[in-house]
Amino acid sequence: MKTAGKVVAGTTAAAVVLVGGYGGLAALRADTIQGGTTVDGAHVGGLSLAEANKKVEAASKVMLAKPITITTDQGSLQIVPADSGISLDTSDALADLTGFTLDPTQVFQRYTGGGPHRTTRTVVDMAALQQAIATAGEKLKGAPVNPTVKFIQGAVQVTDGKPGSGVDAAAVARQIADGWPDTSTFSTTLKETEPEISQQDVQTYLDTFANKAMSDPVTVQVHSQKVSLSTTVISDVLSTTIKDGRLAPVVDETALDKVLADTAGALVKAPQAPKIIQAADGKRTMVPGSDGYSVVTKGAGGKLLAAITAPDRTMTLDTTVQKASADNVNVNSVGTQMMSEFVSRFPTGSSNAARTHNIQTALAKMNGVVVQPGEQFSLLKTLMPIDAAAGYVKAPVLSGGVDVLGMGGGISQTSTTLYNAVFFAGMQLDEHKAHSFWISRYPMGREATLSIPSIDNKWTNDSGHPVLIQAGIEGHSAVIRLYGTKAFTVTSTTSAPFNIVAPKVQYIATPGCINQPAVNGFDVTVTRIVKNLAGQVVKNEKLTTHYQPADQVICTGQTADTSKVPTNGSGGND
């Protein structure tokens, strides 16, 4: 009896060993796909699930990139599956090929091969596939031609479509959906076909969108400020495409971003850094900074399309807060040497009261600004926003060589005053534009206009020390002084006018016309030599400015206070 017990125990132990060994063999290949397995012809046997997924995805991309050819009696055309609504679903292709199992057949196959041959599932967007086939078919000789609607120079241009011999896109799409990827070449016969877009479709698009798009400017609003996008500008960012069998507008978001940067971008309120206000007796007071905001253009294309069909034709842009510097300026951190001073006398009297008000407002915004070493100063950003809420009023500005009323008229005089102060301080001049027509109260070739959104006055503090701007009105003059640590000496010459051109006479009957005298056009050259305190020349510059002749304007209709208009323009935007 004892012997029999030993035999039974030994047999049981052997069985346990065998079962344990078999289980170990099964577990060893649990995470490995059995040999010989393929998916769409790609061998994945012996790989882990992650490795196999990567290989199948790569193989699918290759399949989807291989063109499908469609042959006709008028030639052949090709479409790329990945771009034509065709995709491959790989999610189930590797299901149940890994994982622990004691099934003898699966365990045996994982060691010996004989794995399954699987395929991915083809997914077809029939509408997208038909559109791709129809678009490719347009290149065939004699194919039907769709009408087009384009936006050019602020106007709508329509080209009629015409029928022709075309591909039956729906029938070919069904062939491809049933036969691909086993077959990559399909044949069809052409049939007499009308364009996909009918003339009625065009008329509907014109009535509901296109004609409205080019009817009037669109207003862009940022907080209380507004600017207009002309129909010419709108046409530059608009086009028409075919979507779901219909004409649909498309906005070039990149182009629109640039437009908004050039227009609404000027409506931003820059954060105001802390200021140092210096009184006449030299005493300085620190004024804390204030937050600003920037314009958000993301999604602006959709807002433009909505504005085109809205009754008020207005698109409102969101803003994000731009925090001001939390660091206050030490009143003792800026040197007390006067680096330069420039005085610019302005015309007085009641007819110039609005202009004087704008000059005073602009100077107050500049007064106390500290420009750090290496920092670029932008006058436009400092003065923005230029609207009634910021304290500006309407006054004469130059437009096309003619004085007209405009918001902020006169601020170009503050720009010219600043330009000259910076010029004679020896600073780096980065960007400025002279008036198109010479204004006699400004130095020839040494003056700077200002205009929203693209004409700025920028300079960089390359003195190596902080610079304080002191700006204000003294008597009948705009005065700007730069304080800091003197780093340069400046000498300058101005040539006599040359290339002189005589003006003409304009008779204007438009209401609001302003009489103005004639001024010759000419060229003038200004030189500037800047030396450091060791006497070395660090800047040697020559700038030639071209002034157009300013025509004499004689108002023949209703005029706007022509009796006391300032002579030679107003210091506006030209």
Q: What is the DSSP letter of 1?
A: -
What's the pLDDT score for residue 107? 60
Residue 419 confidence (pLDDT) above 50 = yes
What's the pLDDT score for residue 255? 93
What's the pLDDT score for residue 326? 59
What's the pLDDT score for residue 574? 42
The CA-atom distances, in angstroms, between 210 and each of 195, 240, 286, 306 are: 20, 9, 55, 13
Residue 17 confidence (pLDDT) above 60 = no
Q: What is the DSSP letter of 550?
A: B
The model's pLDDT over 23-36, given as tens digits with 9 standing for 90+, comes to: 554 444 556 787 77
Q: Confidence class of residue 320 from pLDDT cuts 50, 70 and 90?
A: confident
CA atoms within 13 A on the CB side of 254: 0
The model's pLDDT over 199-221, given as tens digits with 9 standing for 90+, comes to: 999 999 999 999 999 999 999 99
The model's pLDDT over 252-292, given as tens digits with 9 standing for 90+, comes to: 999 998 888 777 666 677 677 778 888 888 888 878 877 87
What's the pLDDT score for residue 253? 93
What's the pLDDT score for residue 112? 60
Average pLDDT score, the chain: 84
Q: How many CB atoms lie within 10 A of CB 511?
A: 10
What's the pLDDT score for residue 570? 36
CATH architecture, range 197-322? Roll (3.10)
Which residues are within 8 A (CB) of 299 and not within 5 positions of it... i.e. 6 or more apart?
none
Phi and psi, residue 307, nearest 5°: -65, -35
What's the pLDDT score for residue 386? 84
What's the pLDDT score for residue 567? 32
The model's pLDDT over 151-178, given as tens digits with 9 standing for 90+, comes to: 999 999 999 988 888 788 899 999 999 9
Residue 141 confidence (pLDDT) above 90 = no
- What would the DSSP string read from start to end of 146-171? --EEEEETTEEEEE--B-EEE--HHH
What's the pLDDT score for residue 103? 62
**When comparing pLDDT for 496 and 262, which is higher?**
496
Residue 81: cis peptide before it, omega within 30 degrees of 0: no
- Positive or negative, the CA dihedral 253, 255, 258, 264 is negative
For the entire predicted model, the pTM comes to 0.52
Report the C-alpha gap between 307 and 543 in whole angstroms: 45
**When comparing pLDDT for 227 and 469, which is higher?**
469
> Are 186 and 226 a contacting pair, CB within 8 Å?
no
Burial of 13 (0-12, 13-18, 19+ CB in 10 A): exposed
What's the pLDDT score for residue 518? 86
What's the pLDDT score for residue 535? 95
The residue type of 460 is T
What's the pLDDT score for residue 328? 61
What's the pLDDT score for residue 104? 67
Residue 55 confidence (pLDDT) above 70 = yes
What's the pLDDT score for residue 105? 59
The model's pLDDT over 509-529, given as tens digits with 9 standing for 90+, comes to: 887 787 888 889 999 999 999
Closest residue by Cα to residue 451 from 512, 399, 394: 399
Report the C-alpha gap between 413 and 348 in whole angstroms: 13
Residue 80 confidence (pLDDT) above 80 = yes
What's the pLDDT score for residue 514? 79
Q: Which single residue is written with the structure tokens 């807060």?
A: 321
What's the pLDDT score for residue 192? 83
- Return the domain boundaries, the chain: 25-144+163-193, 197-322, 334-564
> Are 562 and 523 a contacting pair, CB within 8 Å?
no
The residue type of 109 is Q
The model's pLDDT over 336-359, given as tens digits with 9 standing for 90+, comes to: 899 999 999 988 888 889 999 999
Closest residue by Cα to residue 474 from 360, 387, 553, 557: 360
The residue type of 464 is G
The residue type of 205 is Y
Closest residue by Cα to residue 195 from 139, 138, 141, 119: 138
Which residues are within 8 A (CB) of 85 and not within 5 positions of it... i.e. 6 or more apart?
124, 125, 126, 127, 128, 129, 131, 132
User: Pairing mode, if any, of strands 246-251 and 238-243?
Assistant: antiparallel
**Most confident range, picked from 160-174, 309-323, 436-450, 532-546:** 532-546
Report the C-alpha gap between 47 and 26 in whole angstroms: 16
% pLDDT > 70, the chain? 86
Q: Which two tokens stand for residue 318?
A: 């969101």
Q: Which two tokens stand for residue 476?
A: 């009948």
What's the pLDDT score for residue 571? 41
- Min mean pLDDT across 56-60, 98-102, 327-331 is at 98-102
